Amino acid sequence: MSRFDDAFKNKPIFMPYFPLGYPDLETSLDVLEALATHGADLIEVGLSFSDPLADGPIIQKATQKALEGGITVAKALAGITELRRRGVTIPLVLMGYFNPMLAYGLEKFVHDAGEAGVDGFIIPDLPPEESAEFALIAQTLPQITMLAPTTPDERMEMIARGAKGFIYLVSVTGVTGARTGLPEGLAELVERVRKHTSVPVCVGFGIGTPEQAQAVGAVADGVIVGSACVRTIGESATPVETARQFARSFKAALR
């Protein structure tokens, strides 16, 4: 857990999301390296899947392009290995859906992910009630807990009690995607979660600008930026330079 501990020494942290293989594998590696070296404290690395149920149209389009370009679980893990070879030391959390992991073979997947340098997993379609087998196999590589505004207190206590790494707090109901404003009652929601856990609470879904990130960072331990990151970099003619600027702007807002 040392990479997580190091990442959260200076809170709030900036956590962008970007999928491996978008718009192609080599560009995505350069983008992820640029994010890591110009402001990201932790990166949510996307593992593409054909049915991304929690994602909005921007991320769906990006992951579909990655799949059309030939990205696979094996190539994604090789990409993580390459990022570590390039000197990326911040935590890399693999965000993906359970089906590709299951198809790859859970034990082999967890082993290969650990060897590649993955620090943990975010699996939106694997609820706590069904995650015991994965947790037993993963052991020291945590499955990051996800909570939502609609989570009842009793369930929140049950889920948060065993949380490791950090908690991914979904700020709004619905799919991913930048919003024009932040939800009301976010500070109260974060405090509600903190009553049940001692691990950092990071907020994602709907954060699209440095100003919004700054507002979220005032109440949370970390800010997760997905759709805005993918859209801004994906639409750029110079994606790597845009990634550098994007990371710097959000990092500056949080400091």
Tell me the pLDDT tens digit for each residue of 219-246.
999 999 999 999 999 999 999 999 999 9
Q: Which of 6, 26, 51, 55 is catalytic?
A: 55
Q: For residue 146, what pLDDT is reported?
A: 94
55 vs 5, higher pLDDT: 5
The highest-level CATH class for domain 12-254 is: alpha beta
Could you tell me the pTM of the whole model?
0.94
**Tens of pLDDT, residues 89-141:** 999 999 999 999 999 999 999 999 999 999 999 999 999 889 999 999 999 89
Grouping H, G, I as helix, E, B as strand and the rest as coil, residue 153 is helix
Q: pLDDT tens digits, residue range 17-27?
A: 999 999 999 99
Q: Is the CB of residue 176 less than 8 Å from the CB of residue 209?
A: no
- Tens of pLDDT, residue by residue over 153-210, are 999 999 998 899 999 999 865 444 444 556 778 999 999 999 999 999 999 988 999 9
Cα(26)–Cα(38) distance, rounded to whole angstroms? 18
Does residue 188 have an active-site annotation?
A: no
Q: Where are the domains of the chain?
A: 12-254
Q: Where are the beta strands (DSSP E) in the chain?
A: 13-19, 43-46, 92-95, 120-122, 145-147, 167-170, 201-204, 222-225
Token pair for 177: 């995607």
Separation of alpha carbons 44 and 94, rounded Å: 6
Choose the catalytic residue: 24, 26, 41, 44. 44
> What integer pLDDT is reported at residue 179 of this predicted model?
43
Q: What is the rounded average pLDDT for all residues in the chain? A: 93
Whether 55 is catalytic: yes
